[in-house]
A and B are shown apart, each in its own frame.
Chain A
Amino acid sequence: MDAIEADHLCKSFGPVTAVNDVSLAVKEGSVFGFLGPNGAGKTTTIRLLTGVLSPDTGSVWIDGIDIQKNPLAAKLKMGVIPENSTVYGDMTAEQNVLWMARFYGLDRNTRKERTREILRQMGLAERKDDYVRTFSKGMRQRISIACAIVHSPPVLILDEPTTGLDVQSRRLVIETIHHMNETGSTILLTTHNIEEAHALCNTISIIDKGKIIATGSPENLKKTFDTTKYVEVAFAQPVGKDLFVHENISRAERWGDNWRVYTNDPDRVIKFLGAVAEREHLTITSIATSGLSLEEAFVRLTEGA
């Protein structure tokens, strides 16, 4: 059964189409990643999936419940972590978690026990009586997550959960996502961090300009561009982009001190670069070939859309 199902979602704000015919199905127990550049429609899609916004057309089911027809029952199945660590600064850490737990009908003892347990898990047991307004961004995000998982939701939806966090907080968030998934929650997350998506997700959808342009496992998405490889080359002297003009070169871009030269025939390109270096009296300090990473597949997909 699909824990989250969206069917032909569309949402426009005036003349701007934010989400254009998005359909997705997230299998129970899986971790689903939603990748896309800024303004691609990720957050609007999340808002539609969580019932914050209503779609112009299309439907969303959470654990088999239509969120438009029965929003309260559908939301009871979810834990949501919106963008920007949104918790109440004028309540203490414990008050935030306890208050949100009451929405899900947990009895008094369970609420207290779960809150204590989760605050400990999030490394905030010592700060439980402090107002959240005094917390750092990382601590606020941990409280935000604590609020979303206090009722052990079957479906957990996270919008950019690790953006702007320090290493420790980021690691804790990722561990929590793993832990929630291991204990049975289905996870849907959006992220800019492709490495993170690769490490966490079973399935990834890439969204651009409001449309899903590719869906698959991270490995399958990379294979989509298997025919394309690149040669990474560094010269001792500064060079310009105009150096890389050849029939087998589709694109060249600066990559730190190196140049990445995309091609379907690395051998010919290496020979070409050797010849160019000799002709222009340049010194090649390093040269290597590689297949596309998920990040490059993402860039190629979103460029082509």
Chain B
Amino acid sequence: MMDLDAGVFARSVWLVAEKNMRIYYYRGPVVVFGLLFPFLMFFTYFIGRSLNLIAFFPGFLAMMLFFTSSSVGPLITPWEKREKTYERLLSLPVILESIILGDIAAGAIFGVAITAIVWGVSLALLHLPLTSALVLVVAFILGAIGFAALGTLFASMATDVPSNVMMLSSLVRLPLIFASGIFIPLNQLTGWEFVLTSISPLTYLVDLFHAALTNDAVYPPALDALVLVIIIVIFVLLAKAIQKRNLVKGL
């Protein structure tokens, strides 16, 4: 059984997150996949069509949070393995959990910051509705942590080539946005389409934003939140198990 000093552990998590924010926020893949990509998707879908922006906005916000939160994590571990700083990090007063949580925190903070700005600007310009501030806060927090954890899970694969991880993450993330009720509202889906979207974790974030902004969610907000909590736990445990296995096999 491991004895842990909670203060030293919390400090190590924060310092890892701080380093990630300082180094990785400005990297090309983060800017392209985290910032440009969701906007491009939005404009591709929205421009030239007479769509209801209010009805579409919760999905867009969820997509924005999904892409921004999950774009930092995939880069960190492979990059550090390549630069050999991963070993340095492990020899500092940290444990594997400090690194995983620090990476998740960096991704989540990036996601919340960027998406909150987008929401704030949109609120001011478009006079968007808000039905529950509490649900909105919960959606931001759980969505950001959940998909930052997904990014960290991608980064757990045994490679020191960041582009390999970015490719895998795109391979998973792109199909998810088409099967999560972003472009077609969940309440308009029936049959196998509805079943398919219920498998995607992103669906529950989209639905939670609908509950917060337009009050037209399909599931109860508590259920959406519960599913997001469960996926956070699963992603974190999987990332830890894979990274631990990689360490057993060598760096």
**Contact of B124 with A by CB under 8 A:** no
6 nearest A-B residue pairs (beta carbon): A80-B91, A86-B88, A75-B93, A52-B90, A70-B3, A86-B84
> For B90, what are the chain A residues with a Cβ–Cβ distance below 8 Å?
50-52
> For A72, what are the chain B residues with a Cβ–Cβ distance below 8 Å?
4-5, 8-9, 12, 93-95
**Contact of A104 with B by CB under 8 A:** yes
Q: Other than A54-B248, A87-B88, A103-B11, give 14 A-B pairs with Cβ distance below 8 A.
A: A47-B251, A52-B91, A68-B2, A69-B3, A70-B2, A70-B4, A72-B12, A73-B8, A75-B92, A80-B92, A84-B84, A86-B83, A90-B23, A91-B22
**Contact of A71 with B by CB under 8 A:** yes
Which positions 112-135 of chain B face chain A at CB distance < 8 Å? none
**Contact of A82 with B by CB under 8 A:** yes
Contact across chains for A103 and B87 when beta carbons are under 8 A apart: no
Contact across chains for B4 and A75 when beta carbons are under 8 A apart: no
What is the CB-to-nearest-CB distance from B248 to chain A, in angstroms, rounded to a whole number? 7
**Contact of B1 with A by CB under 8 A:** yes
What is the CB-to-nearest-CB distance from A48 to chain B, in angstroms, rounded to a whole number? 11
A75, A91, A103: the one within 8 Å of B23 (CB)? A91
> For B175, what are the chain A residues with a Cβ–Cβ distance below 8 Å?
none
What is the CB-to-nearest-CB distance from A72 to chain B, in angstroms, rounded to a whole number? 5
Contact across chains for A100 and B92 when beta carbons are under 8 A apart: yes
> For A80, what are the chain B residues with a Cβ–Cβ distance below 8 Å?
88, 91-92
Residue of A nearest to B90 (CB): A52
User: A69-B1, A70-B3 are contacts. A51–B91 as well, Cβ < 8 Å?
Assistant: yes
Which positions 7-25 of chain B face chain A at CB distance < 8 Å? 8-9, 11-12, 15, 18-19, 22-23
CB-based A-B contact count at 8 angstroms: 90
Contact across chains for A82 and B84 when beta carbons are under 8 A apart: yes
The 13 listed contacts between A and B (C-beta, < 8 Å) are A13-B250, A50-B91, A52-B90, A52-B91, A68-B2, A72-B94, A73-B5, A75-B92, A75-B94, A76-B8, A82-B91, A88-B23, A102-B15
Contact across chains for B247 and A53 when beta carbons are under 8 A apart: yes
**Contact of A64 with B by CB under 8 A:** no
**Contact of B85 with A by CB under 8 A:** yes
**Contact of B249 with A by CB under 8 A:** yes
CA of A83 to CA of B88, assembled, Å: 9
> For B23, what are the chain A residues with a Cβ–Cβ distance below 8 Å?
88, 90-91
> For B88, what are the chain A residues with a Cβ–Cβ distance below 8 Å?
80, 82, 86-87, 144
Which positions 233-251 of chain B face chain A at CB distance < 8 Å? 247-251
CA of A13 to CA of B251, assembled, Å: 11
> For B1, what are the chain A residues with a Cβ–Cβ distance below 8 Å?
69
> For A88, what are the chain B residues with a Cβ–Cβ distance below 8 Å?
19, 23, 83, 85
Which positions 117-155 of chain A face chain B at CB distance < 8 Å? 144
**Contact of A255 with B by CB under 8 A:** no
CA of A151 to CA of B100, assembled, Å: 25
